[in-house]
Structure 1
């Protein structure tokens, strides 16, 4: 509902990426992460600052296991400070809590 699922998907994809042991697989996954989430106008472009984006572009040819760490931290902060609190206040979540409370009393 928030149209911020790209943040969660990016964060999870970074966790998978970090576990890539092979250099070949890491390069392939890094390019896919870039094309999907980092590249301007990409299908699921995440909201990160220009210096972070530029650092990723610079490192994408020989990506390390932590070349997306800064972007991942920024995305986590967005979720923690914005998306998650809104979700907790949402009608959907409030209805779920209410129904769980009713179920526990029966």
Structure 2
């Protein structure tokens, strides 16, 4: 039996591979709300799906919300959590705003209109939770289509995610599963065989 195996729960050995598959599948298949976001999401998913985040990265996510949003994998994982709470549009909007700041001047007006109509306008397909004053101010800002026209709305949604969803994310089963995967990965690196370990724990030869 591998060193440390006796301290690892039978549940971990039984389910870790299933959890790995679930997390990998989750990372590979973010579902964009808008057609104009599809290419962006595919690029993010491709990068994130190359690996399950290691313990050090997950620990960074626990330190602050800024570490989550600054990581491509973190954004994908957090978006998947938001999806489970039916609030995926918040991260989608935040990412759209970040990408908007890199938009060529010739496309600012059309891109600003698309983002506004998709996320900000009342009763829009993926309406984010903004107060009336911020929504109206953003509407006026969009008419000028400056690089900063979504700044206030983006900041409000960032704060909403940080103060609300992020706190639940830290206590979620998703984070628990990622930590469990890392624990099991340590044993794998030591040469443990999953099927043999299960037999040992089950009392087999």
Provide the TM-score with structure 1 as the length reference.
Answer: 0.91
Give, in whole Å, the separation in 2 of the partners of 1:65 and 1:98.
Answer: 42
Aligned to 1:82: 164
Provide the aligned length of Structure 1 versus Structure 2: 105
Aligned to 1:27: 109
Query: Among residues 44, 69, 79, which one is paired with 2:151 in the alignment?
Result: 69
Once residues 87 and 33 of structure 1 are traced to their aligned partners in structure 2, the CA distance between those partners, rounded to angstroms, is: 26
RMSD: 1.3
Do the aligned partners of 2:120 and 2:127 also contact (CA within 8 Å) in 1?
yes
Number of the residue aligned with 2:86? 3
The question of 1:13 aligning with 2:96 is answered yes
Gaps of 5+ in 1: none
Distance 2:133 2:178 in 1: 40
Tell me if the contact between 2:129 and 2:157 (Cα under 8 Å) persists in the aligned partners. Answer: yes
CA distance in structure 1 between the aligned counterparts of 2:103 and 2:182, rounded to whole angstroms = 40
Q: From the CA coordinates, give the structure whose radius of gyration is larger.
A: 2
2:141–2:150 contact (8 Å) kept in structure 1: no
